[in-house]
Structure 1
Amino acid sequence: MGQTAPVSAIVWTAAGSLAAWLWLLLGQGFFWRTDVRLPPRREPEEWPSVCVVVPARDEAAVLPAALPSLLAQDYPGRAEVFLVDDGSTDGTGELAHELARRLGGLPLTVDSPGEPPAGWTGKLWAVRHGIGLARAREPAYLLLTDADIAHAPDSLRRLVAAARTGGFDVVSQMARLRVETLWERLVVPAFVYFFAQLYPFRRIGRRGARTAAAAGGCVLLRAEAAERALIPDAIRHAVIDDVALARAVKRGGGHIWLGLAEGVDSVRPYPRLHDLWRMVSRTAYAQLRHNPLLLAGTVAGLTLVYLVPPTAVVAGPVTGHAAAAVVGGLAWLVMTATYVPVLHYYRQPLWLAPLLPFTAFLYLLMTVDSAVQHYRGRGAAWKGRTYARPDAVVGDEP
């Protein structure tokens, strides 16, 4: 009789995990599918003007692989690029000038706004400066893109055509991140998978749906919608600025779209686990609004959904209760199957799919570390700046 309670607990916990996975499979906007790409589009008779705003801080290492792709855009309308040098110490601004002189292409303006005032993140202060410069040209659209993002020659053309055809105020593509080292293979596809699980792409593009998100590496924003939503002033404190931007636009009645990228690639390497850890932990606790209860719930949820299935598979035979192993194995199978499309999108081997529980455990540790760093006053540290108490994003007004 003494063994009945713990054995039953194992079975019921595994059953809870399986139930969660069945709900995720069918009830979370089919987040695991990777066919949400740029919507059908027609090329307009007249192409609207576009200004490209690129905030850059110490990006000399990646700029030669990214900036030329913007300057070389094959866009039929008027377009120009504004690179905002956010206090770089590695010659980012000078390198941008040199690349433009040597390669030609779209007009390039390089400027610097100085240090951000209190209440602003450095990136959004740079974006504000870039949008201010762009408004003198009265563009119809703004393309906000990062300095480590390389665009295919027709990227801008396709983004604008999709926005015009669908009547979208925001068209955003989640750039395809670099996946070359072992740690990148283990962690990067899962990053996209978890993001889509939190913000199912199909719901984002649905009118009337509350779900809103964007991917900061590539955001085409209608200038009128930016003014109506007070972008970026209304989100000046947001560390997760892309989601904040999408929510601000949607609150203002805007129509937004987010999908996986075609011809938009990040060139930034994350060769070591340390690099990936810092990328995730920098904003993980901000995503939870610095709320200890949300942190506890997240840890419990990750444990139930991702760690219980393999644990049950191992613990079932040990406890002599095969039901736990069977139920846990079914949950693990569903989990693995939902991860396969993302691995296929990243052209990665399928043997990585059953390792998702291990990757989820890493993300759990990164999230806890993010909270620890926050309470030590080191939260959201990035490129020499530390935002000790950044507001998360979600609907907060300054």
Structure 2
Amino acid sequence: MATAHPQSPQNIEKNPGLHSHHAVLQVIKEKIMEVNDRRPFYIVNLDDIVDKHKQWLAQMPRVKPFYAVKCNNTEPVVKTIAALGAGFYCASSAEFQQVLNLGVGTDRIKYGHPCKDPQDIKLASKQGVDLMAFDNECELFKIKRLYPSARLVLRIQPQDDEDVYKHGKMYGCALDQCKELLAKAKEMELTVVGVSFHIGGLCTDYMAYHHTIRLCRDIFDEAKSMDYNLNLLDIGGGFAGYAVENNPTFSDAAKVINMALDEYFPKEENFEVIAEPGVYYVQSAFTLALRVIGKRVLRSATSAKVSEQSYFYYVNDGIHGSFCIIKSFMADKLVGNFHVLKDDVQMPVYQSTLWGPTLNPDDLLAQNIQLPELDIGDWLYVPNMGAYTIVLASSFNGIAPPELFYFASDEITSGLGD
């Protein structure tokens, strides 16, 4: 789906202390009061992204993060991550060009798409973006013809049965075909420098990293017997963007990964280790505010004298906007994340269904959830909306995307420049 969202504005307001839930809600209320009948909007806390980066460096110091631009490519976000010194995992020439335009060096960019458009390979060659992935023989022929001096990373299928996205069938070389593919690259006189894998988003079995890192070591050793000298390991993404009760945390993942690296890629061997976090960096930095624009009262008789009441609410953002991701793999992850922006928390609740603003009968955001009775003009908010929301939005029915309001501390805004 083409991204219809415009580039984000560069004006970043001083952070009013958005590290607390109450502070975010206060800013939402202030923005609502500024404009009558305001359209949906995001509150973006860039300090949250900085905190995530610091947490990463503290807990996985050996693993350099290469932010996955595809997750959220708004300019202040990418600019903030660039200023932090992170690398970038790019899936197209548009993405690596955006990063290059910010002054990021090519040594901080990986063109990680395993199946690249020939025109994009040509642009990568022209720009000097030489680190790129491959997972099949046909891709090698493409690279040999268009960018023979590229440094290549073999992407393998991960060892995980519980990932949500199931990338394995689409991308990644099967383990029993790696030796043959490396031999083909050697025959073609191409330079292979490392191995990568991608567990998949929303991974809850962090031992999958340990298992796959062990298999990568086997491939490194086999490649050495073929006169390769691999020195780069890319452990991909799959890191949670916020803590969920009863789910493993980022700290849990870091412990497993550090243990596997110490065992199979010890520090004294001087391997370079990178990762491709996307959701981890941006999900919790974005809070969406949206408004009730329509209402329907539903009544069903439970007896001759008593009737039960439920409600349909129509809001001004939907599955063709910020909730596009709901159509694919996150429907069950978003239900229950809708909160009412009302001070009275003691109100009775009713069975409620939330619909988006379009004429698509599938524009359904949540059903059979418990909410107090709302009126047209009331506001809801949804936290943790920074990942795969803005980038997937379209302009279906001519509905404009939400506005973005960025906040950052003085230290961050001064570091970002103009």
- For normalisation by structure 1, the TM-score amounts to 0.29
Greater per-residue helix proportion: 1
By percentage of residues, which structure has more strand? 2
Q: Which structure has the larger Rg over C-alpha atoms?
A: 2
TM-score (norm 2): 0.28
